[in-house]
A = this chain, B = another copy of it.
């Protein structure tokens, strides 16, 4: 199956290289699998060996193949091509994060999910009955592609009152979680090779989605809770990215919050360089030091911001309800993409969410949730402090961004922790170049207080063992 067929009629090295690239990207050769030799290809194709060689060279320059001395060309693994910023990774990226989440864990510090015991599950059975009484034929019909109008009206009102976002129901699209929102956006606006700005560190799943679409990822650092706006401007000027994906409010994984002044300057830059700001906002209700500033979207008068707002995490992950706020012409394009992607999110889930969202229980729930999460965070911080580990002080969110001591190998720590069913995420997942090798992300939202204390104790014992081991080696 993995021979080359020349039905495609490649006649030049560029054509051949494009053809081989397409096949490598679709996974016709496994990572580290040997490609046909130059001699073999020349025989099969009738092309000159020099032409074949040039095609292979081009693929090498793109990081899609690598050479073993005196052996030949091999398909590069995703990690290799990922390290070269300008090279889109293979089409299907097997996210390590998803793989990690599937492992069994006694101490769950890897998923930034909220402990189901802290969620208002028991009310939903009640709402369910209400919803069926109100809409007996609810399950017999499709929802509007854009989402239930009643829910969109409610959310638009909520945004106007609570987040200074002035928008109409027509400027909202209901999606199946924030993950789908990111995917729709990537589907519309990223073609292979398109430059896309992301933060460093950034949300690992977003990296995967953008890579799947073939984006050329470029990253922007965050220092002391701020962007370097000069760096952003230079990047926009030089690469003309179509999108900048950002998470300015209780940033994942660091928990920082970008100040108002920078939010204002950012929308000016976006308009000047015609770069869409994709503002991912999943945690703005989980604050520890007071409410965050209004979203970037609120300061944008030119319409270059697209705002993703998820409620799943702290209301009901099981319903999978999020929304996108966008002005025209973006909303029309989003609607067309949503229509093709799944024809609209299920109506039942939207109506259930609506009934909870408009009750006054939401506010009480959030007040209690913030306290419960703060306690869990402080327990985790105590354990880290005792061990002398450094971490970013988060202003909100569900995780701690921890720097492990210099001598400690994170891959080793991860391996040993997973072996004892303590789950955590290595920092390298959060960066397009796999930097942050000495960082880990520990989520404090899922495990109970006791579990956090026990799990962190065990984690510290594991790290001391590794330390001793490393010294004797």
* A contact residues vs B (CB 8 Å cutoff): 1, 5, 7-8, 22, 25-27, 91-95, 98, 113-114, 116-117, 119, 121-122, 124-125, 128-129, 132-133, 136-143, 145, 176-177, 179-180, 183, 187-189, 191, 205, 208-209, 212, 238, 240, 242, 274, 316-320, 329, 332-333, 336-337, 339-343, 345-349
| A141-B317, A205-B343, A320-B343 known, 20 other contacts, Cβ within 8 Å | A5-B240, A25-B191, A27-B329, A114-B140, A116-B141, A117-B137, A125-B136, A128-B129, A129-B129, A139-B318, A142-B318, A176-B345, A176-B346, A183-B342, A187-B187, A208-B340, A318-B346, A320-B342, A342-B342, A348-B348
Tell whether, in the assembled complex, residue B340 and residue A95 are in contact, meaning their CB atoms are under 8 Å apart. yes
- Residues in B with CB closer than 8 Å to A27 are 329, 333
A14: nearest chain-B partner, CB-CB: B14
Tell whether, in the assembled complex, residue A346 and residue B349 are in contact, meaning their CB atoms are under 8 Å apart. yes
Instruction: For the complex, give the distance between the alpha carbons of A117 and B140 in Å.
Output: 8
A-B contact pairs, 12 of them (CB 8 A): A25-B191, A26-B242, A95-B339, A121-B136, A124-B139, A125-B133, A143-B318, A179-B343, A180-B341, A318-B348, A319-B348, A346-B349
Instruction: For the complex, give the distance between the alpha carbons of A348 and B205 in Å.
Output: 24
Given known contacts A27-B333, A92-B336, A179-B343, is B136 in contact with A129 (CB within 8 Å)?
no
Given known contacts A125-B129, A132-B125, A176-B342, is B191 in contact with A317 (CB within 8 Å)?
no
- Residues in B with CB closer than 8 Å to A205 are 340, 343
Tell whether, in the assembled complex, residue A1 and residue B274 are in contact, meaning their CB atoms are under 8 Å apart. yes
The residue from B94, B113, B145, B188 contacting A142, defined by CB atoms under 8 A apart = B113
Tell whether, in the assembled complex, residue B128 and residue A337 are in contact, meaning their CB atoms are under 8 Å apart. no
Closest Cβ of chain B: how far from A317's Cβ, in Å? 5
Instruction: For the complex, give the distance between the alpha carbons of A180 and B183 in Å.
Output: 13
Tell whether, in the assembled complex, residue B341 and residue A319 are in contact, meaning their CB atoms are under 8 Å apart. no
Tell whether, in the assembled complex, residue B179 and residue A342 are in contact, meaning their CB atoms are under 8 Å apart. yes
- Residues in B with CB closer than 8 Å to A238 are 7
Given known contacts A27-B333, A137-B116, A318-B348, is B95 in contact with A191 (CB within 8 Å)?
no
A188: nearest chain-B partner, CB-CB: B92
Closest Cβ of chain B: how far from A146's Cβ, in Å? 10
- Residues in B with CB closer than 8 Å to A180 are 341-343
Tell whether, in the assembled complex, residue A136 and residue B122 are in contact, meaning their CB atoms are under 8 Å apart. yes
A94: nearest chain-B partner, CB-CB: B336
- Residues in B with CB closer than 8 Å to A347 are 318
Instruction: For the complex, give the distance between the alpha carbons of A124 and B187 in Å.
Output: 35
Given known contacts A339-B98, A340-B209, is B140 in contact with A119 (CB within 8 Å)?
yes
- Of the listed residues A128, A136, A143, A347, the one surrounded by the most CB atoms of chain B closer than 10 A to its CB is A128
Instruction: For the complex of A and B, list the 4 residue pairs with the smallest distance between their C-beta atoms, beginning with the closest.
Output: A116-B140, A139-B318, A125-B132, A180-B342
